[in-house]
Structures are given as C-alpha cells and as structure tokens.
Amino acid sequence: MTNLDSTLQRRGLMLVLSSPSGAGKTTIANRLLQRDDNLRLSVSVTTRPRRPGEVDGKDYHFIDTAKFETMVAAGELLEHALVHDNYYGTPRRQVAEALDSAGDMLFDIDWQGRRQLAEKEAADLVSVFILPPSAAELARRLKSRAQDSAQVIARRMAKASDEMNQYFDYDYVIVNVDLEHSVRRVHAILEAERFKRVRQVGVRDFVQTLQSDLKTLR
C-alpha cells in the first residue's frame, strides 16, 4: 500500500527502532512491515536460544557461538553486540544490496547496534527510540512474558532503566501510548525520510532535464 514513494531515483535507508525491553518496539516493527511494501526486516544472526513461536530465518538466523565468531572475523557483520549474555549481529550483504536498489531495511536492534551502524553508515541511517508511556505499564509488559523467570524480569527492569539513557543518540523519540498511533508515527517518519534530498540521488539529473526542456519551450 505504499504509493508515496519518490518519482526520482533514490537510495534506500536503514530504519533503526530501539527501545528498552518491554516498550513495544517489536510489535511496532511487525505492524510497520505489514503496512509498507518497500520495507524489509534485517534478519539478525543470534546465539540466543530460539523462543517458542520463533522461526529460524524469519525472526533470527539462530547460529552457535563458533559460527558467530567466524562471521565477525571475516567482516561479514555490519554490527554485532552482546545483549543479556547472547550475541546478535547484522549480515552485511543483504543490507548493501537493498540500499543500492532503493529498498528500505528495518533494524530491530539495541543502542549498541545502532552506534556501530552510525559509525559505518551514518548517511543511510534513520533512528527512532521508543519509550514506554509509564513505569507501571513497562513493568506490566515485562511481567506478561510468561516464559521469563522473576529473576530475569527484575534484571530486565533494571536494564530497561539504564537503556533509556540512550534516547539522546536517536534522531526521533516516540512515546508508545497507543500502538496504532505509534505505528502511524514511525510510518510518517519512514515516508518523510524517503524524500530527503540527500537520498534522492536522481534529483540533479531531473532538474537539469527540466531546465533543458524549458529552454526549448521559451
């Protein structure tokens, strides 16, 4: 349903969504992917165990630590990070190919991942930080993940509080009060960023053609 794309040749962008655990970023990411045909999820590799309902190759590529270390050594990861004692990383090739063909990539990664992307690919990066509407709501969401133990939940709450400090590195900040509103907000950001002059690499040729054609009409 995306019919707002540019008529000019453009370069794809990397849309990073981050948030403290439990603020709702993964739900927002999934809704956004349903809503926009030109946005694809960057599927990370991870060494963390697969959770019930997760699909290998769709949610993550689940790999072991040895394979992960091989990929890091070979420079095949655009970013990688250690989160809750597990490794996560972004394969480089799928991203490069998408951006060159005007495809936009969505990254559901944490602030460590965003920082590495920013060091390597700042010009293509658009980053959005999602905040929970209140501490009580965040606590409720963290507790409702049935598969986590009380100890894990307590650790996550402390970590969520720390993670919030990272909002300052992000281009946009959204408070996730209402899921549908948050999805529309992030989608507006995606649509707007596509029209940034710097991404529309075809604009110079387009203007020169207009000017040349105007000469013949005068």
Please select the residue that binds its own copies; options are 6, 26, 30, 94, rule is CB under 8 A: 6
Q: Does 201 bind its own copies (CB under 8 A)?
A: no
CA distance 190 to 106: 10
Q: How many residues belong to the site for its own copies (CB under 8 A)?
A: 54
CA distance 111 to 174: 15
Please select the residue that binds its own copies; options are 2, 8, 83, 141, rule is CB under 8 A: 8
Q: How far is CA 115 from CA 11, 90, 167, 169, in A?
A: 21, 13, 12, 8
16 or 71: whose CB is closer to its own copies?
A: 16
CA distance 199 to 167: 24
Q: Does 99 bind its own copies (CB under 8 A)?
A: no
Q: Does 72 bind its own copies (CB under 8 A)?
A: no
Q: Does 43 bind its own copies (CB under 8 A)?
A: no
Query: Counting beta carbons within 10 angstroms of the beta carbon of residue 155, is it exposed (0 to 12), middle (13 to 18) or buried (19 or more)?
Result: middle
SS3 1: coil
| Cα-to-chain-centroid distance, residue 113 | 10
Q: Does 129 bind its own copies (CB under 8 A)?
A: yes
Binding window for its own copies (CB under 8 A); candidates: 40-48, 53-61, 84-92, 154-162? 154-162
Q: Does 58 bind its own copies (CB under 8 A)?
A: no
The candidate with the shortest Cα–Cα distance to 115, out of 174, 163, 182, is 163
Q: Does 3 bind its own copies (CB under 8 A)?
A: yes
Query: Identity (one letter) of the amino acid at 100?
Result: D
Could you give the angle at the alpha carbon of 184 between the alpha carbons of 195 and 202, nearest 5°? 10
CB of 31 to its own copies, least distance (A): 15
Q: Does 7 bind its own copies (CB under 8 A)?
A: yes
Edge-first strand listing for the sheet containing 86-91: 61-62, 45-46, 86-91, 77-83
Q: Does 103 bind its own copies (CB under 8 A)?
A: no
Please select the residue that binds its own copies; options are 173, 179, 201, 205, rule is CB under 8 A: 173
Residues of this chain that bind its own copies (CB under 8 A): 3-4, 6-8, 128-129, 131-136, 138-139, 154, 157-158, 160-161, 164-165, 167-168, 170-175, 177, 181, 184-185, 188-189, 191-193, 195-197, 200, 203, 206-207, 210-211, 213-218
